[in-house]
């Protein structure tokens, strides 16, 4: 049997097909520019890879194109038993993965105001998959579910209580499937049960978040009600004085829409460098470009502060720090800057191991801390799709445990 993992963005559809016998992907790709001119699908398997220009007006068209590619590459539709859907925002309604029933779909739609750029696209993917694969089990896996274990003193904001009760203003957190995966893998590398591990997970990509994981459960995370808070990101500002948008709006006469666009798409690394959002460009130019140097220093300093604060929040010895996602997996320089001068906190990198830990060059999971580092430091390539697949299979089989620490994941071994 095969499971299809889907991640629908506003104009993209990422897909992977996994064989449930091995839990390895046999076919994967990405449909891009959906609803735009020049839309296309890239795909890859062990035997074949390529790119097809296909007109796709919506996600239903995109999924139909993907299904056609599956058939062309020898994957029978009758053997696709389930579809795992990444859903960005589950609010406080979903603390675990669930079957995508009509009631669940209705609730996801009601939560779209909390994630207007993401949830509608996720919903379209679910509806399209139901149409194209009517016999497959549809499962929703929520980015926010992993963080539903945050205590109230960490998820509440110090704002009028009515905002929380009536509008749902609170911290939700994101990247939950990634934090779950790397935390399980870190526990396995430590040789400890996940329920005994204290880990700080640093998911650093274009979007980024830190997560404090105590005894296997998320107790705090840097992203908030939306994916805008916390760390310095590629184009997002991260934490800032909340009065700044009002001040800029008044001084420049900008609309709310333009302010939000600036904070989400023109800030972060791009805002500081005024040229680059990609950390690879920053890395290439930081020695001769003061703005690139400043951007790297700011990103590292913010990340270091979160690590320190989360060590305090865990209130017990921290066993490991994990770097993951595009930047965390491949940028040795930013990892070194973040961990620099943290020996007094038990964190010490091995420079040679850190330099070698680049996932895009084929490096797998690696410990990059020095032998005498009290806190282990790992680079672990994330695998969010595998979480989608295993949750989907478990829900289909009736073996799913909503308490993820007790869930029997293959990658936790």
CA distance 148 to 155: 9
CATH superfamily of 193-384: ATPase, nucleotide binding domain (3.30.420.40)
Output the pTM of the full model: 0.93
177 and 143 Cβ atoms separated by less than 8 Å:
yes
When pLDDT is averaged across residues 117-128 and rounded to a whole number, the result is 86
Mean pLDDT of the chain: 94
- Per residue in 178-216, pLDDT (tens digit) is 999 999 999 999 999 999 999 999 999 989 999 999 999
Find how far residue 323's CA is from the centre of its chain: 12
**What pLDDT, on the 0 to 100 scale, is given for residue 292?**
96
Helices and strands, counts by H and E, the chain: 15, 14
| Token pair belonging to 319 | 């066993």
Domain with CATH 3.30.420.40 in the chain: 2-142, 193-384
Report, as an integer, the average pLDDT of 9-24. Answer: 88
Which structure tokens are listed for 128?
Answer: 């399209």
CA 21 from centroid of its chain's CA atoms: 26
CATH 3.30.420.40 fits 2-142, yes or no: yes
Question: How confident is the model over 244-260, as a mean pLDDT?
Answer: 96
Summarize pLDDT for 352-361 with one digit per residue, the tens. Answer: 999 999 999 9
- 52 vs 212, more confident: 212
Q: How far apart are CA 103 and CA 138, in angstroms?
A: 13
- Which residue numbers are catalytic? 143
Token pair 């003061």: residue: 290
């Amino acid at each position: 049997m095969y499971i299809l993992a889907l991640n629908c963005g506003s104009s993209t559809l990422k897909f992977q097909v996994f064989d449930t016998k091995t839990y390895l992907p046999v076919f994967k790709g990405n449909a891009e520019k959906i609803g735009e001119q020049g839309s296309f699908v890239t795909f890859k398997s062990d035997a074949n890879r390529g790119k097809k220009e296909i007109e796709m007006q919506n996600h239903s068209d995109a999924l139909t194109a993907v299904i056609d590619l599956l058939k062309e590459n020898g994957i029978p539709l009758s053997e696709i038993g389930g579809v795992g859907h990444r859903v960005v925002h589950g609010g406080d309604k979903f603390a675990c993965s669930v079957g995508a029933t009509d009631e669940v779909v209705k609730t996801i739609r009601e939560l779209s105001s909390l994630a207007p750029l993401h949830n509608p696209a996720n919903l379209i993917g679910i509806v399209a998959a139901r149409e194209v694969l009517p016999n497959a089990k549809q499962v929703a896996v929520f980015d926010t579910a992993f963080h539903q274990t945050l205590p109230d003193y960490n998820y509440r904001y110090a704002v009028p209580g009515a905002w929380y009760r009536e509008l749902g203003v609170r911290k939700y957190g994101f990247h939950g499937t990634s934090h779950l995966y790397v935390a399980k893998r870190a526990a396995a590398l430590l040789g400890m049960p996940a329920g005994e591990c204290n880990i700080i997970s640093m998911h650093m990509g274009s979007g980024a978040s830190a997560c404090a994981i105590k005894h296997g459960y998320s107790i705090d995370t840097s992203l908030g009600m939306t994916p805008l808070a916390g760390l310095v990101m590629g184009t997002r500002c991260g934490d800032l004085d909340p009065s700044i948008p009002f001040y800029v709006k008044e001084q420049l006469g900008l609309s709310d829409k333009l302010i939000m666009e600036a904070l989400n798409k023109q800030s972060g690394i791009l805002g500081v460098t005024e040229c680059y959002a990609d950390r690879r460009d920053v890395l290439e130019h930081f020695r001769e470009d003061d703005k690139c140097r400043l951007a790297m220093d700011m990103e590292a300093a913010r990340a270091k502060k979160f690590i320190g604060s989360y060590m305090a929040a865990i209130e017990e010895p921290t066993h490991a720090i994990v770097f993951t996602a595009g930047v965390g997996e491949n940028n040795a320089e930013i990892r070194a800057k973040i961990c620099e001068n943290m020996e007094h906190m038990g964190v010490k990198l091995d420079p040679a191991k850190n330099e070698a830990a680049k996932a895009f060059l084929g490096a797998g999971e690696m410990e990059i801390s020095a032998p005498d580092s009290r806190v282990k430091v790992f680079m672990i390539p994330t695998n969010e799709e595998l979480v989608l697949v295993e949750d989907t299979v478990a829900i289909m089989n009736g073996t799913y445990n909503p308490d993820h620490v007790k869930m029997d994941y293959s990658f936790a071994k």
